[in-house]
Chains A and B, each alone.
Chain A
Amino acid sequence: MPDGLTLNKIIAQKGISIGEAARRVADLGWTPSYVQEAMTFPTDYKISKAPKDPMKQVLRSYFPMQEEKDNRVYGALDAALRGDMFRNVEPRWVEWMKLFLAIIPFPEISAARSMAMVGRLAPGDDLRTGFTMQMVDEFRHSTIQMNLKKWYMENYIDPAGFDITEAAFGKCYATSIGRQFGEAFVTGDAITAANIYLTVVAETAFTNTLFVAMPSEAARNGDYALPTVFLSVQSDESRHIGNGHSLLMSILNNPDNHQLLERDLKYAFWQNHAIVDAAIGTIIEYGTTNRDKNKESYAELWHRWIFEDYYRTYMLPLEKYGIKIHHDDVHEAFDRIVKKNYVHKVAQFFSAGWWANFWRIEAMTERDFEWFEHKYPGWYDEFGAWWENYAKLSKPGNPPITFVDTGYVYPHRCWSNLVPCLIREDIVVDEVDGEIFTYGHEVDRWTHKVAFQGEYQGRPTPAMGRFSGHREWESMYHGWDLADAIKDMGFVRPDGKTLIAQPHLSFEEKDMWTLDHVRGYEIKSPLITLRGMTPEQRDAHIAEYKKGFKVHKI
C-alpha cells in the first residue's frame, strides 16, 4: 500500500464541513408571512441583531456524544456500588444531599423551559441549535439528578428525606430559597430571566461552585457518585455560557437596552450570590468531614472563580460597551463571605431550625473548629459556643436549641432572596405598596422596591416580574406548635412519630427525636410580629436587631 493511503482514506467520502452544516441548518428558519409567531414571552428589551452561534454544532453529533457521557455516568454508578462506596461514605455529607438534590432538579428543568423564551426572542435561527441542545441538556440534568437522588435513597443508610423529596421541596423554608432561583429563570421579563439571570450570571459565574467545588468535596467524603454526575453536567455548561454570551452581545448592540442590562446584572449578581453562596457555601464547609488545611475554603474558591474568573474576565470587559458594572456589589459580596461570615451564619441558621429540615445536621466538633479557625480567623469566638451548645442539646429530651436561651436571635427573612437577614447590621426595612418588608441588604431592598416594578428610573418596564406568594415561610406557621407544623409538612418518618430531621448522626432509635419531643413550642413569624408593632417599637426593635448578639455557652 502506498504511503499515506489508509483504509480510511479509500472509503472516505466527501462530507460537508461542520461550519457549512451549521450554516445550512440555520437556514431552516424563515420569516412567517401568513401567521405571526406568538409573542407570548414579555420583555422590555429590544433585540434586532441576530446572535451568532459560536459553537457550530448540529444535533447529529450532539446525541451520540451525550449518550456516551451518560454511559460513563451510569457505568461509574454501577462501579461505585460494586466497590461498596456506601460503606465508607460520610453520612454528614450525604445528609446535605437530601437538601441539595431536592432543590436542584427544578432550577435545571426551569432552564430547559427558559430556552423556549430565548429561542423565541433571539432574532434569526443561528442559535436555535444551541438553544435546542441546552433545552435537552437541562432535561438531562433534571432527570439525571432525580436518578442520583433515587440511587442515594436506595443505597444510603438513612433514606428518610430522600423518600419525600419533591414533596419536601414544596414545603421547606430552605428549598423555597432554591425555588426563588429556579422561578427567576422563567418568570417576568424573559430576557432578564432566561438570559441575564440564568445564563449570564448563574451559569457563567456560579456553576463552577455548584458543579465543580461540590464534586471535589463529595469525593473527599467518600462520595464518588456525585462527582461523576455533576462533572458530566458541568461539561454541558460551556455550551450554555456560549449561548448566553452570544445573545448578550446582541442585546448590548442596542444602547437602549443598557439601562435594563445594568439593572439586571446588579439584581442577578447579588441574588445569585445571596442564594448560591448560602446553599453551596454551607454544604461545602459544613457538610464535609475533611479538614485538610491545604484545601481551599469556600471563600478562596469564590475569590478564584467568581472574583478572578468571572468578575475580572467576563463582567469587567462589558464596561467597554458602556455598561456600568457595580464593582461595589462584587466587593461587598466577597466581604460578606470573608469578613462578615455569611456562610457560617447560614449554617448556624440551618442548625438553629434543624427540626424544620428533612435532613440531619450534626454538631461541629473540635476538628472542625480548628479548621474553621485556621481558614476564618475569629471563627471560634463567634461560632464555637453555638456548636458546643448544639452538641449538648442534640439528644431527645432537651428543648430544641431554638427555644433555649443561648443569646441567639431568630432572624428576620429577606423578602427578595428568602435567606434570612443574617448579617444583622445590614438589615433594611422598607415599605412597598403600603406594606412593611425586611431585606438582608440594601441591594435586596432595591431589588424588590426598584427593580421588580413597572417603571425603572422613569422608564416604563411593563414586562418586569413581581415578587409574589407567601415569601416568608414562618408566616405559614405563625402561632403553630412545632410538632403540628412538622406533621403538616410531612417531615415525619413512616412510623408516624419519629422526625426525619435529627440534630445528630446517630442511627440508634433511642437517640431519635419524635413529635413528642418538639411539642409545646410555638413558631412565630418575625414579619407578622414586626408589622404588628408601632413605628416606635419597630425602630427600637430594628436598632436592637442590628446590634447583633453574642451566643453564650449553656
Chain B
Amino acid sequence: MTAQVQEPEVKSGAAGAKKFPGWDSRKYNYFEPKGRKATHYEDMTVDVQPDPERYLLQDWIISFADGTPTYSKDWTKLKSSDWHKFRAPDQEWERTHYQRQSTIVGMIKNVVDNARKSGAPARFDPRWVKILQDHLGAYKHAEYGLGKATMQAQRYGYTQMINNAILTNSSYKLRFSQDLTLYLSEIGMDLPVFDATAGKTHWMEDPIWQGVREATEAVMGATDYLEQYFATNVVFEPLVAELFRSGFIMQMAAAQNDFATPAVVSAAEADYEQNLANSVELFHLLAQDPEHGEANRQVMEGWLEKHGTLCVKAANQLQPVWSQPRVKVAQFNDALAAASNRLKAICAEIGIEVPAALTATTANDTQPAAEA
C-alpha cells in the first residue's frame, strides 16, 4: 500500500494563510505619499489618471485631430515641475463627499422645515422678502454659473488629484445654486406676495447685477481650466460671493427677523472654506515651483487683474443693495474692505501680488444717501 500521507493543504484565501514572497505587500507602493503614510484619499486618487512620464508605457493612445493627447499639460498657461505633487487638503473621495453633501442637505432641510413650521417667513420684514426675492434670487445664478465653469474645468487637469478637487468644487456649487432655488420657492409658498421668477429677471436686466453676471460669464468663458479654477476661488468668491453672502445676507438677515436664510447661506461659506483650501494649496505650489514659479506668478497676477477688475466693478455695482433693507446693520464699505482684505490674505498665502488697482477697492467712498 502506498498510503501517502498528504499534508492538509491550506485551503484559505485569507491574508496570512501562507507565507511566500510578497505575501505581506499590502500597501499601494507606486507613489510617494505626501506625509509619512499614504492617506486613504491618496490611495483612492493618486495615479488613477495616468501620465506618460510616470507609468504610461504606450503613451496616450487616442488624440484629438490636432494631435493633442487625451490629457495635455498645454491646457493651462501655468507650468509645473511636478504636477503630481498636489494633494487636496480636504482629502475628498466618494464616501466623504456624499457624507458631507448629505449632511448639508439634511441641515438645510431641518432649518427650512422648522422655520416654515413656525411660520417664520411670514414674519420676515416685507422689504427683506423683496430683497430675497430679487437679489438672493439673482445671486443664485452666479453660483450656478461657477458650478458649470468648474464642471467644464474638471475635464482638463493633468492629474486625478487636481481634477477631482475641481469636480467636488463643481458639485458643491451646483448643489448650493439648487439649495437657494428651492429655498426661495418654498418660503415663497408661505408668503402672500412672492415672485420666484423675479430673481432671474434681475440677474438678466437689473444694472445692479450686470457686473456680477459679466464677471461670472468671464469665468465660464475662460478657456484655461486653471484660470477658471483660480478666478472662481481666488477672485470671485472673496470679492463678490462672500461679499454678498457674508457681508450682506448673513449680517443683515437677523435684523430683518430672518433667522433661516443665514443658515441656508452658511452652507456655501463652509463649502468655500474647503474649496479655498484646495485651490490655495494648488496655486501656492505652482507659485513656488522651483522652475516655473516666477512665470506662474505672472500668469496668476494677470488673471487676478483681469477677473479682479471685473469683480471689483461687480462688487461696486452691488452697493445699492446694502441700502435696501429697512434696518441697516451692515455697511457696504465695511463689507468691501473685508472682501479686499480677504483677497489680500489669500494672495499672500499663494505668494502673489495684488495689483494696486484692486486694493483701492471702492469706486465711491460713501453710500448713496438716496433710497428707493
Q: A residues touching B (Cβ–Cβ < 8 Å)? A: 11, 13-16, 20-21, 24-25, 27-30, 32-38, 40-42, 58-60, 63-64, 66-67, 70, 74, 84, 86-91, 94, 105-106, 109, 112-117, 119-120, 128-129, 131-132, 135-136, 139-144, 146-147, 150, 153-160, 163-171, 176, 179-180, 183-184, 186-188, 222, 418, 454, 462-471, 473, 476, 489-490, 493-495, 497-498, 500, 507-509, 512
What is the distance, in angstroms, from A221's C-beta to the closest C-beta of chain B? 10
User: Contact: B57 with A143, CB < 8 Å?
Assistant: no
Indicate if the CB atoms of B20 and A135 lie closer than 8 Å.
Answer: no
With A158-B23, A186-B155 as contacts: A60 and B179 at CB distance below 8 Å: yes
Q: Do A157 and B151 touch (CB < 8 A)?
A: no
**B 95-119 to A, binary, CB cutoff 8 A, 1 in contact else 0:** 1011101101110110001001100
A112: chain B residues at CB < 8 Å are 154, 167
Roughly how many angstroms separate A147 CA and B94 CA in the complex, as a whole number? 10
Could you name 27 residue pairs across A and B whose Cβ atoms are closer than 8 Å? A15-B186, A32-B220, A37-B220, A42-B64, A59-B175, A60-B109, A63-B175, A86-B12, A87-B12, A117-B155, A128-B148, A131-B151, A140-B94, A153-B28, A159-B15, A163-B26, A163-B28, A166-B55, A167-B54, A176-B58, A180-B61, A465-B63, A466-B62, A468-B59, A468-B67, A470-B61, A497-B21
Say whether B164 faces chain A, with CB atoms less than 8 Å apart. yes
The listed residue (A94, A170, A466) touching B56 by CB distance below 8 A is A170
Bound complex: CA A41 to CA B223 (Å): 10
CB distance from A513 to the nearest CB of B (A): 11
Task: Say if the beta carbon of B43 comes within 8 Å of chain A.
Answer: yes
B278: CB under 8 A from chain A?
no
The answer to whether B185 and A132 touch across the interface, beta carbons within 8 angstroms, is: no
Which residues in B have their C-beta under 8 angstroms from that of A156?
13-15
Structural contact, A35 and B214, CB atoms closer than 8 A:
yes
From B44-52, B247-255, B323-331, B350-358, give the one contacting chain A: B44-52
- In the complex, are the beta carbons of B182 and A150 less than 8 A apart? no
Q: Which has the most chain B C-beta neighbours within 10 Å: A117, A160, A180?
A: A160
B61 interface neighbour in A42, A153, A176, Cβ under 8 Å: A176
Q: A112-B154, A112-B167 are in contact. Are A16 and B186 (CB under 8 A)?
A: yes
How far is it, in angstroms, between the C-alpha of A75 and the C-alpha of B162 when the chains are bound? 30
**Is A166 in contact with B70, judged by CB distance below 8 angstroms?**
no
Contacts of A155 in B (CB 8 A): 14-15
Residue among B18, B21, B182 making CB contact with A25, cutoff 8 Å:
B182
B22 an interface residue at 8 Å Cβ cutoff?
yes
Beyond A142-B48, A154-B15, A157-B13, 13 extra complex contacts between A and B, CB < 8 Å: A27-B200, A84-B14, A116-B154, A129-B174, A150-B44, A157-B12, A160-B21, A168-B55, A465-B63, A497-B21, A498-B20, A507-B17, A507-B18
- Whether A38 contacts B220 by the Cβ 8 Å rule is yes
How many residue pairs link A and B with beta carbons under 8 A? The number is 349
Whether the Cβ atoms of A469 and B48 lie closer than 8 Å is no
- For residue B213, CB closer than 8 A to chain A, the reply is yes
Q: Which residues of A contact B22 (CB under 8 A)?
A: 158-160, 163, 493-495, 498, 500
Complex CA distance for A318 and B186, rounded to whole angstroms: 41
CB B217 to nearest CB in A, in angstroms, measures 4
- Report whether B65 and A462 are in contact in the complex, using a CB–CB cutoff of 8 Å: yes
Complex contacts, A14 vs chain B, CB 8 Å: 189-190
- Whether B30 lies near A188 (C-beta < 8 A) is no
